[in-house]
Structure 1
Amino acid sequence: MDRMDMEKRRGEPEGCLVAAIRLPVRIVALVVVVPVRLVWDALVVSGRFLYEKALVPLGRGLGLLLRAVFVWPLVMLGRALAWLCRVLIAIPAQWLYAHVLTPLGHGLTWLCRTLIAAPAMWLYSQVLVPLGRAVLTGLRWLGLALFVWPWVALWRYVLAPLGHALAWLGRMLIVIPLTWLWQYVLAPVGRALAWAAAGLGRGLATLLRWVFVVPLVALWRYVLAPVGRALLIVGREIADALAIAWRIAGRVSRAVGRFLGRLLRRTFVEPVRWTYRTVLTPLGHAVRDHVWRPVARIGREVRASVRQARAEVRRALFGAPKRPEHAAEPLVGDRREPHSAQARTLGSSTTPLTKTDIH
């Protein structure tokens, strides 16, 4: 309901019927409309969430899948078929048309024009046209002599005088008597009948007015119009009550939504966030700093120790690798094992990788 219309209606004088109907109707409308509005807003939010989070990604995925499965293969197949048709049909047909059919057509055209068209045109212009003109002129004069001139003479000398005589006879025997009969007999009788019919019509109109029209007007004025105005007032108040109840229900629905959002945030989101920030994050950092990193460092040291032990065993069994006489440095290619001065001794736990003493 428009606000301007409602303000105009509030400015109008109100009777006791309006005041008695308005409050109960608005209370009933508010009780009925609020649950409907809550359910409607819940359905709208659910549908919007389902559409944005499920249907749209699903539709895009299905579109991509259908495009990959059907569209692109069909497009490639169509391009391949177009290329094959062009190579196998269009190009040979174009060459055949340009180098075979076109010269053959030109030759046939010249031959037909020389052997058929030129003699036919000469025969038409020199023989058939003069002969046709002569025959047409003879038939024209023959038709005029046989059909037109006899009918013209018959109309001029026989039918026209006979028509004039019949017209004078019909006027004297039919038109003048009928005119006199209408003027002095039928017209006065018709006027008398019209006057009588008019009086009878006025009497019937008066009778019908008092029998039908006056009761119907009274029924409309004193019964139907007041009932209609009352029903209009009731319907207007119901519409206003529904509009106000719908707006109030919208506010209630928004308040309920905000309350549920705050309740969900206070009961679920903030505890989960606090647990993540206060408990899980420090616990993860502690596990990373005090468990995973020491374990990883010990694993690297164990691997280095095993590698050094394997190098010492190989050196004890097979001897140290030979060095060239002119080179004082160890072999460049022997990079898998550490230098003997950097190897771990019996009294120290220093490793070449960590460079620290582990006691």
Structure 2
Amino acid sequence: MADYSKNRAPRPGGPAQPPRPAEPEGVVYQLFRWPARLIALVVVVPLQLLWQLVVVAARALRALLWTWTLRPLLLGLKWLGWDRFLVPLGHQLWRWVCVPVLLAIRFLWHYLVAVPVRFLVTYLLLVPARWLWRCVLLPVLRALAGGLRFVGRAVAWVLRILVVVPVVRVWRVLLVPVGLAAVDSLRFAGRVTAAICRAVGAVLHLVVVRPVVGVWRVVVLPVARAVARVWQLVVVAPTRWANRALWQPVVRAGREVRRDVRRALFGAGPAR
């Protein structure tokens, strides 16, 4: 059978399809190609169609069983077992079994455990502990507090006699006069130093600052201005004139000559 698909012309107006790769040709290829196609047509295609049919039938059967059989059955079991049997049974068990059992446990806990434990704790721990605190510990603590108070007063008196009074007397008799004298000496030294600094500053101002300022104003500034003016006239202005009148025309002429030589040698380039 001849294959005319290679000689078909492309449809007008449609997108151009990429050229297909050339199929191998030859006697061996022709011998194996047609049996392979025949096997695919006889075996593979029917199996594929059968598989698709089985998949569609399984989906339809699953939808049918779930929608019309399992789902109504599960809903019915839920309504009958949970809503109508288990929930009411749970409510009745909670009301008539669990609640009475919890109340009985609470009653037994209160009267068999809580009350005896409270009685034992009260009369075996709290009452003896209260008596021990009032009759033994509190008097001992009061005696210790009195002894510590007496010792503290004695230590404070000793410290006052041996430390505070001598320190106060030394402060009043020795340190205060010495400190006042030192402050007066420092104040006088500060005044003398300030007067000396002012005198030295005035002398430096008259001897150094004023002459330097006068020289700067009278000599340095006029000389600097004259030098700047001469530099402007002798160097800057001729340089600018030479740049505008000589250098720039030479550069432009060189560029034009180079452009003409390039055009004569290589021809006119593409227009940009």
Which category describes the TM-score, using the shorter chain as reference length? 0.3 to 0.5
Instruction: Using structure 1 for the length normalisation, give the TM-score.
Output: 0.30
Instruction: Using structure 2 for the length normalisation, give the TM-score.
Output: 0.38
Which has the bigger relative contact order, CA under 8 A and spacing at least 6? 1
